[in-house]
Structure 1
């Protein structure tokens, strides 16, 4: 039994050098074969330099250029006619609301009678004063009587003046029983209802003057150096782009978020629906065109809040390196690389989500831009 145990052990010891030499060689070959089999086939190309406009993104709400409030100027009168609804297009001077005017008309007629009486009183006082002035030197009237006639004349003139002012006020009240549009535009709000008894100052309508809508875009202060009056703006929509230009940059910043409102006058196409106030929209301001180092958007991957691209290792051409990049403008299916990638880098065009730093890859074909560079 002791011999049977010793013989296999001795044989193992004798053969160990051969195993030590063959096993590592077999493992390395297997690993290379497995790595090649698992390598991801990728397309690579050099970044492409394109001429793009500089765009500053922004967002904000659509609002009326000017919104006029039409309110009642009289109290205690009943609405007997309403001629506009929300969305109605009106012209300056159109009758919108009419109040019951009977009481105002009666007050006007009463005041007209008061004016006529004051005129008659003034005529009488003037005649008496003229006689007194004519008899001053004759001594027929005392100075006291003459003075009383002259004072009566002055009082009659003042009374007539007051009654005429009251007549104008009564006429104004009668005129205010009708409310007219103060400008061309569109009715955006209506609170006037038939039969309502209003008070002075009560809102009846709101009117978007000239139907002009503008974009109140919000920008951080650091971007205001590029945006000024006349700068072009664009708001993409599903039915087409709405163009505009900066009308005014607010002189103050918001105390809530530190942003500044930029007022943009919009110029929608004739066949496009009119933009609606209150909508929150996103767009951008267009500045001068500059060169942009671009790659396909599919080449950029996101991880932990940062952007990365994979480039072909220039030393072996069979593995990739991950590079952190800063992205800028976007246009169609391409994105601008602000930093992190050189013009000569061979960038993996897509599939970066399946790669890691140092991954082995097979290059299927160089991108068009890379082939052009090699042809040179």
Structure 2
């Protein structure tokens, strides 16, 4: 007989879960495993809300097992460590991002690219190796193998730093991998949302000349005055797009809605790269000649591995990079999601878990 959510593990926990495709979150009592010899247990202080949380809550990707407790932008304080933990001690400030386990032996894991491991365990919404469900940071505490726990830089704020564990590494990694991290590089950023505004900050910190593409002129002041982008282009304006032809070394496309990319490819220099981060419902259409003439590349990128994620956090602390956030109590999460779907946030919601999640 299958054990209940509250009894499958010995350690009682509290959180907010979605129980059906309505995606509505409500308080839940569940359980977590005992602390193993390589485990780090920590009290959750803050957890960012990512659009992936909405997809999982509503089962929009068709893979959700209910109840689902999301959250993969998690910052907290260590409360217990296993007997063989080497990197952390009680009282340390730590973070956990999108992964909590992997096989550790495949080529991807050995090369510090755990994000490509075929047996990776994401922070929530999938099964742990023991067959139980993984639950995320919309909860009072977390537990993870120390390999997947990140040291939190002293100078990095906890609340506005939390979204970097997803939005930060998702934008930092392609800038680094595709060589768009050199001073003077001309980088385009498509979309000025949760990912896009962090991409602008990361690219500027690398010394790039940044152009923001948006469908609306209303974002111009935010881009130029707020985020210090160098240029702003309304992507629906044919004259502005024509003037930008052949000017960019690379583009980071953060938009998840359906949108054309042919015009964006035209703004690339020869050997330029268009890197897709968003996942639109419909496939992108690419004309062969738009790639052939100019030897251009359309690529994709997701998060980075643990080594690169730690590197990103240290880089962010050094350069004063955080997400622009609105901090909310956990009982506001359903309203926050409604607002997020309307793009009514600048630019990320972060849940103050420690001060708002109380045991029922």
Q: Shorter chain as normaliser: what TM range? A: under 0.3
More strand by share: 1
Report the TM-score, using the length of structure 2 for normalisation.
0.21
Higher normalized helix content (fraction of residues): 1
Q: Which has the larger radius of gyration?
A: 1
Give the TM-score of the pair, scaled to structure 1.
Answer: 0.20
Bigger relative contact order (CA 8 A; separation at least 6):
1
